């Protein structure tokens, strides 16, 4: 069965520090990969997505993610975190199909220290 694991439930970083959120997936082939962000009390906003091609993808708000097939990983990075980045982050995968059904990880809550 397909699954997504985000090993870190909570992460705290200082403002201006770099950030990496981990995501590992279990799937028989290369799925489509997504990172979403959820601010408190809000819905989910897409940060970036990977379907094919260049394994380093750029997203909104200065985020990027790298797909590593050999490690079944799709880690999210940001070189310098801002206080407004405090939120919950979800990694998700989709089987290549027309339905677009997403399987989500458990989420990582990011806290930013001033």
Partner 1 sequence: DVKVTQSSRYLVKRTGEKVFLECVQDMDHENMFWYRQDPGLGLRLIYFSYDVKMKEKGDIPEGYSVSREKKERFSLILESASTNQTSMYLCASSLFARPRGNTEAFFGQGTRLTVV
Per CB under 8 A, the list member of 71, 80, 84, 106 interacting with partner 1 is: 106
* 44 near partner 1, rule: CB under 8 A: yes
* 49 near partner 1, rule: CB under 8 A: yes
For residue 94, give every residue at least 6 positions away whose Cβ sits within 8 Å of its Cβ, in sequence order, or none: 31, 32, 34, 100, 101, 102, 103
* 28 near partner 1, rule: CB under 8 A: no
* 98 near partner 1, rule: CB under 8 A: yes
Per-residue burial over 46-72, b if 16 or more Cβ lie within 10 Å, else e, is ebbbbeeeeeebebeeebbbbbeeeeb
Contact residues: partner 1, CB under 8 A? 4, 6, 9, 32, 34, 36, 41-46, 49, 51, 90, 92, 94-107
């Amino acid at each position: 069965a397909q699954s997504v694991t985000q090993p870190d439930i909570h992460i705290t970083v200082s403002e201006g520090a770099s950030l990496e959120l981990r995501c590992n997936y279990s799937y028989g082939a290369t799925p489509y990969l997504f990172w979403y962000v959820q601010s408190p009390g809000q819905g989910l906003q897409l940060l970036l997505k990977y379907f094919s091609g260049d394994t380093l993808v750029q997203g909104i708000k200065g985020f990027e993610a790298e797909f590593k097939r050999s490690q079944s990983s799709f880690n999210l990075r940001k070189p310098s975190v801002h206080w407004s980045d405090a939120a919950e982050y979800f990694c998700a995968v989709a089987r290549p199909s027309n339905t677009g059904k997403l399987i989500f990880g458990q989420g990582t809550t990011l806290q930013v220290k001033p």
